C-alpha cells in the first residue's frame, strides 16, 4: 500500500489542501483510503489506498487505457492500425525495465 502526506498530494494535484481534505474525507467514508497520523509528526496525516481503493484505481486505469486506445484507433484505417500495433510491439520489446504486475494489468487483452 503506497502512502503520502496530504499536503504533498495537494501540491501534486495543484489544488488547495481544503479541497484535498474534503475529497479525502469522502473517499475515506467510501472505504477507498485511510488517513493516519504520520509517525514522526502527529500533526500530519498520511494517506494510503485500501485494497478496495487499489482495485478501483486499477479498474479505472484499465478502462481508461482501453477507452483512450479505442478512440485513437477509430480514426485509423485497418492497415495503419496494424502498422501502429507492430511499431508499439517493437518499441515494447526494447523497454529498459520489465513491466510491473500493475502495469501489465493496464494492457488491454487482445
**Can you give the pLDDT at residue 95?**
55
What's the rounded Cα separation, in Å, for the pair 50 and 66? 24
pLDDT at 86: 83
Average pLDDT, 10 consecutive residues per value, the chain (110 residues)? 72 87 92 87 82 91 80 83 81 67 66
The whole-number pLDDT of residue 91 equals 76
Count Cα atoms within 13 angstroms, Cβ side, for 60.
Answer: 6
Q: Residue 98 has what pLDDT?
A: 66
pLDDT for 74 equals 81
**pTM exceeds 0.85, yes or no:** no
Amino acid at each position: 500500500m503506497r502512502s503520502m502526506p496530504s499536503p504533498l498530494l495537494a501540491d501534486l494535484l495543484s489544488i488547495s489542501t481544503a479541497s484535498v481534505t474534503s475529497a479525502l474525507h469522502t473517499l475515506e467514508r467510501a472505504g477507498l483510503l485511510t488517513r493516519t497520523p504520520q509517525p514522526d509528526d502527529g500533526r500530519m496525516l498520511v494517506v494510503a489506498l485500501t485494497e478496495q481503493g487499489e482495485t478501483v484505481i486499477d479498474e479505472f486505469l484499465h478502462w481508461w487505457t482501453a477507452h483512450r486506445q479505442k478512440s485513437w484507433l477509430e480514426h485509423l484505417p485497418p492497415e495503419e492500425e496494424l502498422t501502429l500495433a507492430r511499431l508499439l510491439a517493437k518499441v515494447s520489446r526494447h523497454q529498459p525495465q520489465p513491466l510491473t504486475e500493475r502495469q501489465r494489468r493496464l494492457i488491454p487483452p487482445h
